[in-house]
């Protein structure tokens, strides 16, 4: 009987950092996130890839709309999870509100981020702003 275990010996991928201040940059943030996942070994499953794109889109969009108009996206990964951190200039934490099913004023994003991730924390900084840290299982 062979008791050999297969383990990943690939070096960890360096973190990716993106700074932006435009709605067009949200598309770029999604593209950067997908490219980041494409380079991971082993590759995350398709559900993680889709979830990551949604989380990055929501956090970047909310940072632009409510966070002072500029954000920094930081992506990193371990063999167990993908971590997303978005920093903005506004120290106020996201507000949970009832989704607007008729008027189109939103309310879905924060619920979705919390549902798609296994962990969400908010820390002060940089400066007077905040950073929202999320983790998605691989």
pLDDT score recorded for residue 20: 78
- Report pLDDT digits (tens) over 83-111: 999 999 999 998 877 766 676 666 678 88
The answer to whether residue 5 sits within a structural domain is no
**Which residues neighbour 12 within 8 Å (Cβ) at sequence distance 6 or greater?**
77, 78
Residue 58's domain is classified under what CATH number? 3.30.565.10
Please, are residues 128 and 55 in contact by the beta-carbon 8 Å criterion?
A: no
The answer to whether residue 88 sits within a structural domain is yes
The answer to whether residue 133 sits within a structural domain is yes
The answer to whether residue 116 sits within a structural domain is yes
Question: In terms of Cα–Cα distance, which of 121, 53, 113 is closest to 87?
Answer: 121
The answer to whether residue 70 sits within a structural domain is yes
At residue 66 the predicted structure's pLDDT band, cuts being 50, 70 and 90, is confident
Query: Which structural domain, as residue segments, surrounds residue 63?
Result: 16-93+105-137
**Phi and psi at residue 106, in whole multiples of 5°?**
90, -145
**Which residues neighbour 6 within 8 Å (Cβ) at sequence distance 6 or greater?**
none
Q: Provide the whole-model pTM.
A: 0.82
At residue 35 the predicted structure's pLDDT band, cuts being 50, 70 and 90, is very high
Please, are residues 17 and 32 in contact by the beta-carbon 8 Å criterion?
A: no
The answer to whether residue 55 sits within a structural domain is yes
- Report how far apart, in Å, the C-alpha atoms of 62 and of each of 55, 58, 106 are: 11, 6, 11
Q: How high is the mean pLDDT of the chain?
A: 84
The answer to whether residue 100 sits within a structural domain is no
Give the count of domains, the chain.
Answer: 1
The answer to whether residue 58 sits within a structural domain is yes
């Amino acid at each position: 009987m062979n008791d050999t275990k297969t383990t990943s010996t690939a070096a960890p991928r360096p973190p990716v950092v993106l700074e932006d201040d435009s709605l067009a940059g949200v598309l770029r943030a999604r593209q950067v996130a997908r490219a980041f996942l494409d380079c991971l070994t082993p590759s995350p499953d398709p559900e993680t890839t889709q979830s990551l794109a949604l989380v990055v889109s929501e956090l970047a969009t909310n940072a632009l709309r409510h966070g002072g108009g500029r954000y920094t996206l930081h992506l990193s990964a371990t063999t167990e999870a993908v971590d997303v951190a978005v920093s903005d200039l506004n120290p106020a934490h996201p507000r949970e509100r009832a989704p607007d099913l008729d008027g189109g004023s939103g309310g879905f994003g924060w619920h979705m981020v919390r549902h798609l991730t296994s962990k969400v924390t908010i820390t002060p900084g940089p400066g007077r702003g905040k950073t929202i840290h999320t983790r998605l299982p691989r």
